Copies of this chain bind each other. A is one copy, B any other.
Amino acid sequence: MTTYNAPVDEMMFLFNNLKDNKNYNEIDKYKEINSDLVKDILEQAAKINQQIILPLAKIGDEKPCVYENGIVRSPPGYKEAYKKFIEDGWTSLSCDPKYGGQGMPKTVSTFFEEMLSSASLSFKLYSELSIGAYNCILHHADQKIKDKYLPKMVEGKWSGTMCLTESHCGTDLGLLKTKAVKQKDNSYKISGQKIFITSGDHDLTENIIHLVLARIPGSPPGTKGISLFLVPKFVVNDNGSVGPRNGVNTASIETKMGIKGSPTCVLNFDEATGFMIGPENKGLSSMFTMMNLERIVVGIQGLGISETAYQNALAYAKERKQGKANNSKNGEADIIIKHADIRRSLMNMKSLIEGQRSLAFWVSQQIDVSLNHPDKKIKTNADEIVALMTPIIKSFFTDIGMEITNDAIQVFGGYGYTKDQGIEQLFRDNRITPIYEGTNSVQAIDLVYRKILNNKIFEKYIAQLSNEVKDFAKENKLSLFADKFFKYLELLNNFTLWLGEKNKSSKDDVSAACNDYLKVLGYIALAHSWLKILKVSHSKLNENKTFYEDKINTAKYYFDKILPRVQSHYLSAITGSDTMMKSNFN
């Protein structure tokens, strides 16, 4: 089984030193969220994740969810753990106090999301979509619905789902067929089949609140005719109690390569009673409130799983003896962490993970600003930054998650391929993250077409980066890093100009370059994060030499070893798309 120690110190380092966002610091209600409070929360979070949730990972893999006679049963122990999980209030962490939440900022809840992903992604998924559904209802439903559904969802007694996909449409929601027919009492009868519904049915909560995309007869074709409905598994009585079963049934659950402790359901809606959320035919845009934040959380899943993979590979490398290191003197086998190549692999993981955590922290602050800042312009600006960063966090972190879990298996050698070590499970569990909530390629297309080519936000972002790094460059110890940063930033800028040009003449060139572009921007955003860490580390060096020297060393590794990847992505992408479009795929 894997082990896991929540990296509370790393998280507190960010919280204490990189809350560098002036706008974030202006949010009144977060001024009282001080370091001591956050540390206390993270330590409590570490405890439940390490002690109670971590063991559920292996259990869920060995004894997956079961579907029998229309009923879905969660793996052994999940029910008990979930009970404790909601009793301790973890589902309410970032929710509005008005509905029973604790009102914690994203900066804090993102740390918790990471820990939970590190401990057991399968278990996490039971409550994860509830937060998404909560957000969607909070922002788009009328007050009556909020009062009726939100408190139980915040408490965790009810969970939520997102019902988008149908068998013929995943990425392309314009094709969806589920029907919603209006009733005299203004409710709707929902009919159709939804697939790949995470936590679509299970036995952990009293009720499940489905958010369902459907089409009202006569509405416009494509994405412009889609509305959003709240459809509870059990109808909720006016007094808030759970009433009779609604017309939603589970047809089957998927047999998957990973996250086996999480039920992925086919749901049949058969004239199920639903209530419209948000305006008619604007369902997709309401749903995207939920989708966008959810995409960031999926990125955090990749980060969390990477952390566990790294910790376990590191522990194994410190204990396994094999071969002699280059500086070996006694002629006996060394622990493998003495070998340069194993260290390379571990440093790859470490420099990517720490850079990602820092970037995620910065984006979390932007989310907090976008939701809570009093100044509307600042709010909008932050919202756009979040929109720009969403595909990066989602795709880049989950792809890197594949790289890191793959490399971690390799550190274990033959043992990594057996089930005993748990490391191969991380590889399989993480494999869903580049797929769900919009495949990584779709994220890349979203990034390029919606956020780079048709938006001013990118220029603002780059200007902000450049200004910051120009300041850094004045400091002797940072100037070499800043120079390297600007060298690669120039490639990014050339790449962006190239996209703009090609967008006029050859859209296929642009489409074929999106994945490479996303990666280039990802690596540069991480370099920026490392520069900020470097600045703090140099200025605080004497406070904790071991800690900050390690940061400086890891930053240098990132700039030396990882950042050059930008080069190949750029060179490959700008050759265009002629050959691939021409191929007849014989």
Contact surface of A with B, Cβ cutoff 8 Å: 165, 168-172, 174-175, 195-196, 254-258, 314, 321-323, 326-327, 333, 337, 339-347, 350, 402, 406, 409-410, 413-414, 416-420, 424, 427-428, 431-432, 434-436, 439-441, 444-445, 507-509, 511-512, 514-515, 546-547, 550, 553-554, 556-557, 560-562, 564-569, 571-572, 575-586
Contacts and interface: CB of A to CB of B under 8 A. Distances in A.
A568 B577 contact: no
A435 B27 CA distance: 52
A409 to B, nearest CB: 7
Nearest to A259: B417
Contacts of A585: 314, 337, 346, 350
A14 to B, nearest CB: 15
Contacts of A432: 417
User: What 10 A-B pairs come out closest when comparing CB atoms?
Assistant: A560-B575, A340-B511, A564-B571, A568-B568, A557-B579, A326-B507, A343-B580, A257-B424, A340-B512, A340-B508
Given A255-B418, A515-B341, A560 B583 contact: no
A328 to B, nearest CB: 11
A8 to B, nearest CB: 13
B444 A257 contact: no
A417 to B, nearest CB: 5
B512 A341 contact: yes
B553 A583 contact: yes
Contact of A333 (B175, B413, B414, B419): B175
A156 B547 CA distance: 61
Nearest to A322: B172
A369 B586 CA distance: 32
Contacts of A561: 572, 575, 579
B439 A410 contact: yes
A508 B326 contact: yes
10 contacts: A171-B322, A175-B321, A175-B322, A256-B417, A257-B419, A339-B511, A341-B444, A341-B515, A413-B435, A561-B575
B515 A323 contact: no
A508 B344 CA distance: 10
Contacts of A257: 417-419, 424, 427-428
A485 to B, nearest CB: 15
B581 A414 contact: no
A254 B546 contact: no
A550 B556 CA distance: 44
A323 B168 CA distance: 11
Contacts of A340: 507-509, 511-512, 577, 580-581
Contacts of A583: 343, 346-347, 350, 550, 553-554, 557
A418 B256 contact: yes
Contacts of A584: 546, 550
A348 to B, nearest CB: 9
B431 A427 contact: yes
Nearest to A336: B171
Contacts of A582: 553
Contacts of A565: 568, 572
B169 A322 contact: yes
Given A514-B341, A562-B572, A424 B416 contact: no
A577 to B, nearest CB: 5
Given A432-B417, A435-B414, A585-B314, A326 B511 contact: yes
Contacts of A172: 321-323, 333
Contacts of A564: 567-568, 571-572
A344 B512 contact: yes
Contact of A560 (B175, B327, B572): B572
A314 to B, nearest CB: 6
A314 B575 CA distance: 23
Given A314-B585, A428-B428, A583-B347, A341 B413 contact: no
A448 to B, nearest CB: 10
Contacts of A428: 257, 428
B507 A550 contact: no
Contacts of A507: 326-327, 340
A579 B553 contact: yes
A103 B172 CA distance: 55
A424 to B, nearest CB: 4
A520 B565 CA distance: 14
A170 B414 contact: yes
Contacts of A557: 579-580, 583
A402 to B, nearest CB: 7
A81 B34 CA distance: 68
Interface centre among A343, A402, A419, A578 (most CB of B within 10 A): A343
Contact of A171 (B323, B326, B567, B568): B323
Contacts of A547: 586
